[in-house]
Amino acid sequence: MDAFVLLSRSEGLPNVLFKAMAMEVPAICTPVGGIPAVIEPEHNGLLVPLHNVQATVPAVRRLIDDRALASPLGQAGREHVERHHSFDRRTERLCETYRRLMGPEIARPSR
């Protein structure tokens, strides 16, 4: 696949974006919701302005025509997902949250 394009007008933190990035498919997205916290333009994907076909079409063309750009974007996307959004990392963060909420007395393992 040459590119993953997500032109949402409104979004939270889309799992479909993580799935594409995990498969090393370079992403082109609109900067809505949590997407700008995930996509670092020109590092692990591309951001295009909302409702702007004049910017979207050239971005898609760039990824199709320039494998020297697309491949590193895809690799960086996969690395980002593995580092920050993998099942293990999400579980680790959830456990950290529970430990913090329970406080030091409860969070310590019993002996």
Query: What is the share, in percent, of the chain residues with pLDDT greater than 70?
Result: 94
Those residues with Cβ within 8 angstroms of residue 19's Cβ, 6 or more apart along the chain or in another chain: none
pLDDT band at 48 (very low <50, low <70, confident <90, very high): very high
pLDDT band at 8 (very low <50, low <70, confident <90, very high): very high
Indicate the DSSP class of residue 46. E
The neighbouring-strand residues paired with 46 are 28
Q: Please, what are the domains in the chain?
A: 4-107 (3.40.50.2000)
Tell me the pTM.
0.80
Q: Is the pLDDT of residue 106 over 90?
A: no
How deeply is 37 buried, as exposed, middle or buried, from its count of CB atoms within 10 A (0-12, 13-18, 19+)?
exposed
Cβ–Cβ < 8 Å for 51, 45: no
* pLDDT score of 38: 96
Q: Is the pLDDT of residue 72 over 90?
A: yes
Q: Is the pLDDT of residue 41 over 90?
A: yes
Encoding tokens for residue 31? 């900067």
* pLDDT score of 109: 62
Q: How many Å apart are CA 8 and CA 105, to the nearest integer?
A: 44
Length of the chain: 111
